[in-house]
Amino acid sequence: MQPTEDSAVGAALDRFVQRHGQRFPSLHAPFDPEWRSPCELDTVTQPPPRQVRWRPLRRPVPIDPFAGLARALEMPIHPDAKAFWGRYWSGNLEAEAADGHVSLLQLWNEDDADRLVENLIGHALAKRRARSPFTVFFACTEPDSELFLSIDNDSGQIMLEAPGSKPLRTVAPTLAGFLDALEPAPAADDDGV
């Protein structure tokens, strides 16, 4: 039996997270007592500012953060997007792709999932104004760039986009293949905390 695309994306994300964890066993972020995550390991108080160590935490049961979004947009959300966004609690994961730097966006906590849906509603409205097919963003490119990567909601292809416009080009035929080709990279502000 062949795996479904959903399981192919989940397995590819698992492989990337494993490669990333082997290279970077724990990561850090500024500690915010009002913005906690299940993926936090511990808090580092010295030297200031306070940091939290974290690593991606696979959810025992994947979630579907898009049920309300699908109703609001009156369209189903591509299963690859559900598989990607529903699998881990994590901070963003840095990587190198064939075309340059990529920051895989992730959900830190439940409130972050709500913000994702709000941002995707705004993205959907901008796509409608541009008369462009709906996409689900999942990664940013270089830090000083407005370009981002998305999943075409109809085909599942990976697209390079700029805000408010039609996709610039196809980057990869599938999300699973794109994830398998990524190499883990350090965060821009990684100072070894």
DSSP string over 103-164: EE--B-SHHHHHHHHHHHHHHHHHHHHTT---EEEEEE-STT---EEEEETTT--EEEE-TT
Q: Kindly state the tokens that stand for 15.
A: 């492989």
Give percent of the chain with pLDDT exceeding 90: 60
User: pLDDT at position 92, please?
Assistant: 95
For 94-149, what is each residue's pLDDT tens digit? 999 999 999 999 999 999 999 999 999 989 988 888 889 999 999 999 888 899 99
The mean per-residue pLDDT over the stretch 180-189 comes to 88
- Average pLDDT over all residues of the chain: 88
Residue pair 134/153 in contact by the 8 Å Cβ criterion: yes
Higher confidence at residue 7 or residue 115? 115
User: pLDDT at position 31, please?
Assistant: 86
What CA–CA distance (Å, rounded) separates 82 from 67?
Answer: 10
User: pLDDT at position 45, please?
Assistant: 59
At residue 138, what are phi and psi to the nearest 5 degrees?
A: -145, -10
User: pLDDT at position 3, please?
Assistant: 37
User: pLDDT at position 48, please?
Assistant: 67
Question: Cα–Cα–Cα angle for 170, 134, 155, nearest 5°?
Answer: 50
Cut 0.85: pTM above it: yes
The mean per-residue pLDDT over the stretch 139-165 comes to 92
Banded model confidence at residue 192, pLDDT cuts 50, 70, 90 = very low
Residues 6+ apart with CB under 8 A from 48: none
* Farthest CA pair distance, the chain: 53
Banded model confidence at residue 189, pLDDT cuts 50, 70, 90 = low
Is the backbone peptide bond immediately before 133 cis, with ω within 30 degrees of 0? no
User: pLDDT at position 191, please?
Assistant: 43
Using the predicted structure, report yes or no on whether residue 24 has a pLDDT greater than 60.
yes
Closest CA to 10 of 179, 182, 181: 179
Banded model confidence at residue 59, pLDDT cuts 50, 70, 90 = very high
Using the predicted structure, report yes or no on whether residue 46 has a pLDDT greater than 70.
no
